[in-house]
Amino acid sequence: MKTVLSGIQPSGKLTLGNYIGAIKNFVKLQHDYQCHFMVVDLHAITVAQEPAALREQSEAVAALFLAAGIDPSKSNVFLQSHVPQHAELGWLMTTLTSMGELERMTQFKDKSSGKDSVGAGLFVYPSLMAADILLYNADLVPVGEDQKQHLELTRDLAGRFNHRYGEYFTIPDPYIPQVGARVMSLDDASSKMSKSNPNAGSYIALLDPPDVIRKKISRATTDSGREVVYDPANKPEVSNLMSIYAECAGMTLKEVAERYEGKMYGPFKKELAEVVVSVIEPLQQRYNEIRESGELAEVLDTSARRAEEVASQTLSAVKERMGFVPRRTLS
């Protein structure tokens, strides 16, 4: 089986966009691939995090992975910081990365724009992301459009290592689903739905109560006119809502358009809210069961142990090729 690796930062609340664009696909991938799904808490601290919030969000993201249907008997679900080889290989990859490559990263430019002081971790974290992927010799990496540049850097670093030290790393390919890869903000369809958006009305959090979800969708921005028509160029707002409907209801966009032909935005948004709630409510129930049962700790520990078995072998092989003296255990 080919290997898939992906991760989500525990900074902010996971959204419906995270579910449709990533987690829903994780659940599908686990049936055909060896999967590693991480909560990338080391990435989260590239910007300041409140310790209690980081702990809570890390556990919440992992529990949401399980609640959405990721099976820990088929896939590893673990915290990045629980596998120390990530940090060590991250440093080794940093030494292979040039300043120019990191300076070209658009995410760094966006996140550092207008700030007087920027942490070095934010600058070099693409090298750690490369290490995350290469540690498991992943064949496929589910990525959004905003992460393709980082995956290209990973491919370059893998090739650079192989050229310098001998063929070892698999060159990973992106896995970008044709549908559901990008859910846009409820208040501005020109920007991606993001858990970091300061306007809580712009996104639906996976742990939002049903009544909050209904209110957010009722207030979602719509285009001029009244027709429910899928036309991203001329009607981006309603097209975004139709995409959400299609993903949550398991329908095609054509079927959604036919269902609401001749109807106005009001009835459409009301029914959209119920479709979204029908997906999120069972997920929340399962999430609460997981958090209350205590099973999460066992899953995280077991998965981390399995992941570390692979990671330690990779790191040892990399260090040997780079010329490090292996540690000898003397009896």
Q: Which residues are catalytic?
A: 111, 192, 195
Which of 288, 296, 282, 284 shows the shortest CA–CA distance to 72?
296
SS3 267: helix
Task: Copy the structure tokens of residue 214.
Answer: 């209904």
Q: Quick one: how far is CA 316 from the chain centroid?
A: 28
Pairing of strands 75-79, 173-175: unpaired
Which segments of the chain does DSSP mark as H helices, in order?
16-18, 24-29, 41-44, 51-67, 85-95, 99-103, 106-112, 120-134, 148-165, 210-218, 236-249, 253-259, 265-293, 295-322
Give the CA angle between residues 152, 153, 158 to the nearest 5°. 100
C-beta separation of 3 from 137 below 8 A: yes
CA–CA dist 53, 319 (Å, integer): 35
SS3 4: strand
CA–CA dist 267, 260 (Å, integer): 9
CA–CA dist 244, 192 (Å, integer): 13
C-beta separation of 85 from 308 below 8 A: yes
All residues at 6 or more sequence positions from 34 whose CB lies less than 8 Å from its CB, including other chains: 1, 2, 3, 4, 75
